[in-house]
Amino acid sequence: MIKFYTKKNCPLCVEALELLDVLNTDDIPVEEIDIYQSDALLETYQLLIPVIAYKGSEVYGNEINIENISRLLTE
């Protein structure tokens, strides 16, 4: 399962999710997690979102691009 950390009213998150949808050719389930549902998530990710986490690795913020998402999904 891919975890996608996000928040409401985040244009960068929308773009990242669209890119993930295109690159997720194996249809791995994606769980969208609003970081405002927990203080711990908010503390961890508030400056990093969007964050894509899969198999113990993460890609976040400005690092989200075609190459890094593809690498994350094939690790």
Q: Cα dihedral angle (18, 75, 58, 14), rounded to 10 degrees?
A: 0
Dump pLDDT digits (tens) for 4-22. 999 999 999 999 999 999 9
Confidence of residue 75 (pLDDT cuts 50, 70, 90): confident
pLDDT of residue 65: 95
Dump pLDDT digits (tens) for 47-73. 899 999 999 999 999 899 999 999 999
Rounded to 5 degrees, φ, ψ at 55 are 50, 45
Q: What is the CATH number of the domain that holds 17?
A: 3.40.30.10
Mean pLDDT, the chain, integer: 95
How many domains does the structure of the chain reveal? 1
* Domain span including residue 33: 2-74
User: Which residue carries 């249809």 as its tokens?
Assistant: 27
> pTM above 0.85?
yes
